Amino acid sequence: MTLITAVWLAWGGMLGLCLGLERHYKQLWQRPPSPRIKRGLRAMGWVLLTASLAVSVLGWGWAMGPVAWFGLISLAGLSVAFLLPYATR
């Protein structure tokens, strides 16, 4: 259960950071984001990534937790990068 929770939090965090950029937000919603939305998405992304790190450390301890977390954010970032171009179709 720890793995699934950490993956979903990492995926949400990477998605928030990605949509916090004007280019990717416009790609998905066909309009530029307001500065408030950009800041909110970036903040949400960092909070979710931090929560993913916390879940990883709680599940695997400080020895393996950060290592697993880096792997999870790599997996989440890759999946966001592959799925974002298909979101508008």
Residue 88 pLDDT > 70, yes or no?
no
Number of domains, the chain? 1
Biggest distance spanned by C-alpha atoms of the chain: 44
Check pLDDT > 70 for residue 87.
Answer: no
CA-to-CA separations, 17 to 52, 64, 85, in angstroms, rounded = 14, 25, 16
What confidence tier does 89 reach under pLDDT thresholds 50, 70, 90? low
The structure's pTM equals 0.87
**The pLDDT of residue 50:** 96
Q: pLDDT per residue over 5-59, tens digit each? A: 999 999 999 999 989 999 889 888 889 999 999 999 999 999 999 999 999 999 9
Residue 16 token pair:
């928030």
Range of the domain at 79: 2-86
CB contact burial 27-62 (16+ within 10 A = b; e otherwise) = eeeeeebeeeebeebbebbeebbebbbebbbebbee
